[in-house]
Chain A
Amino acid sequence: MILPRFEYKKARTIEEALELYSRYNGEAFYLAGGTDLIPLLKLRLFNPRAVIDIKGIQGLRAISKKAGSLIVGPNVTLYELKDNLEVRGYLPCLSESLDATSCETLQMRGTIGGNILQNTRCLQYNKSLEWRTARGFCYKMGGETCNVVPGVRSCLSNYCGDNAPALMTVDAKVRLVGPEGERTVKIEKLFSGDGKIPFNVKKGEFITEIIIPLKKTDGAYEKLTVRGSIDYPLVGVAVTAKDDYARIAVTGIGPSPRLYELKKINVKAINDIADKAYEDARPVLNAVLTPAYRKKMVRVLIKKACNRLGLGGSK
């Protein structure tokens, strides 16, 4: 498949990247690992005038510790992060979600920043231009309808990141830089809830740091897939527990992961959360398994992850 025409620019500093972005009037994409962006360009889902390679920016590919937090550069690859001793020892949920992401070769190229901000997906969207033209454009392509659920008001494409939900359960934040300056937000605030523009990221902004509190936690990530490798989650469940408190995030259904809190861990509380997550999940026919099955698996995977951790004495 041939890429559309665009210019290639390499940024050496954050300022240079922002300057390039404004020079192209925002008709540009930042490029890190490219494992999400390049297929989107090949399918003509976006036609930027330029891509701005931010891999050469010093300092965006480091992992450090500061004031009880792990500071991860967005250009750290998923494979490098998975191998990090702090992640392995303190953040087992993230460690498992990184390991479950796609496959080893793509983990070695894909970056954590890009993985968090990967675009939402839909069976009717991630298709060639010819296919989409024949079908008619949906909300996400600038059209006036949804091709999966006619009459629905907003885009229901699925967020298929494995690691953002894990980061939500460990209360991570991201630092963003853009033409209007810097800001730090909780990772759950990044999601808009509308698949058309799934992130609350302003024009020209990119992630410069992922800030993860370093506390020893218990955690697990469970993922529903059809193959077991090179798969997006059809449902993903991240669980992190510390003492008598746990957080659970559900991904793969709808444009943003859902976060739940367990303030007291016991079997009843786990069952109640699993039931609530089951009620909240509204999958539609836009992935390779049926909505009914994916909905059921939300409850199953939450209980499975909690059982594996022995939460509420359930082991």
Chain B
Amino acid sequence: MKTVRVTLEVNNEKIRLEVKPYETLLETLRERLSLTGAKEACSLGSCGACTILLNGTPVRSCLILTPEVDGASITTIEGLQKGDKLHPLQEAFMEKGAVQCGFCTSGMIITAKGLLDRNSKPDKKAIIKTMSSNICRCTGYKKIVEAVEEASRRPE
């Protein structure tokens, strides 16, 4: 099987890789680059645990082939903090207790980041609508919405 050569910019770092043509972006991130923040849960695009930012847009990385995104810029949960300082969303999630088992958290935060990048002051309705892209099986949605509201009040 022929491999495919791709260049990616992952969390501001240029990376050259040879990947399988049928390799998902999630597999590349987790298994080649050890970025295990994005999770594999349903693997069929339903749950959102694997959400990452692709050129600034939140997408399900389990549904994307790595060769499709050659040349793209990718941000994962590991790329949000600046130095030792966590992103306001990460801080707000901790403060509001928006993390229960934690499996959905990275996807939730990336989806919320996508929203705040498009609309820095979303109302509660917009937050709920956007966050409904992701499933939390602990059903801790209330605190997740509160955390996003809180983060929207803080400067990045």
Contacts and interface: CB of A to CB of B under 8 A. Distances in A.
A230 B4 contact: no
B43 A106 contact: no
Interface in B3-55: 4, 20-24, 40, 43-46, 48, 51
8 contacts: A5-B22, A35-B45, A35-B63, A38-B45, A38-B62, A103-B48, A103-B133, A108-B59
Q: Which of B48, B64, B68, B111 has the most chain A CB within a 10 Å cutoff?
A: B68
Contact of B64 (A4, A5, A34): A34
B67 A230 contact: no
Contact of B59 (A3, A5, A105, A229): A105
Given A35-B63, A51-B65, A6 B133 contact: no
A8 B59 contact: no
A3 B135 contact: no
A6 B4 CA distance: 12
B58 interface: yes
A196 B56 CA distance: 38
A4 B20 CA distance: 11
Contacts of B21: 6-8
Interface in A40-55: 42-43, 51, 53, 55
Contact of A104 (B1, B2, B130): B130
A105 B24 contact: no
A179 interface: no
A1 interface: yes
Interface residues of B, number: 33
A230 B64 contact: no
A10 B130 CA distance: 31
B132 A103 contact: yes
A43 to B, nearest CB: 8
Given A104-B133, A105-B133, A109-B63, A3 B22 contact: yes
B44 A39 contact: yes
A134 to B, nearest CB: 19
A112 interface: no
Contacts of B130: 104
A143 B10 CA distance: 45
Interface of A: 1, 3-8, 10, 31, 34-35, 38-39, 42-43, 51, 53, 55, 103-106, 108-109, 228-230
A172 B58 CA distance: 30
A1 B43 contact: yes
B82 interface: no
B1 A5 contact: yes
A230 B68 contact: no
A103 B63 CA distance: 15
A169 B137 CA distance: 38
A105 B46 contact: no
B58 A105 contact: yes
Given A39-B63, A230-B133, 4 more contacts: A3-B22, A8-B21, A108-B59, A230-B46
B59 A42 contact: no
Nearest to B68: A53
Contacts of A1: 40, 43-44, 62
Contacts of A7: 1-2, 21
Nearest to B66: A8
Interface in B93-150: 111, 114, 129-130, 132-135
Given A34-B63, A55-B68, A104-B130, A3 B24 contact: yes
Contacts of A34: 63-65, 68
Contact of A31 (B40, B45, B68, B133): B68
B57 interface: yes
Contacts of A6: 21-22
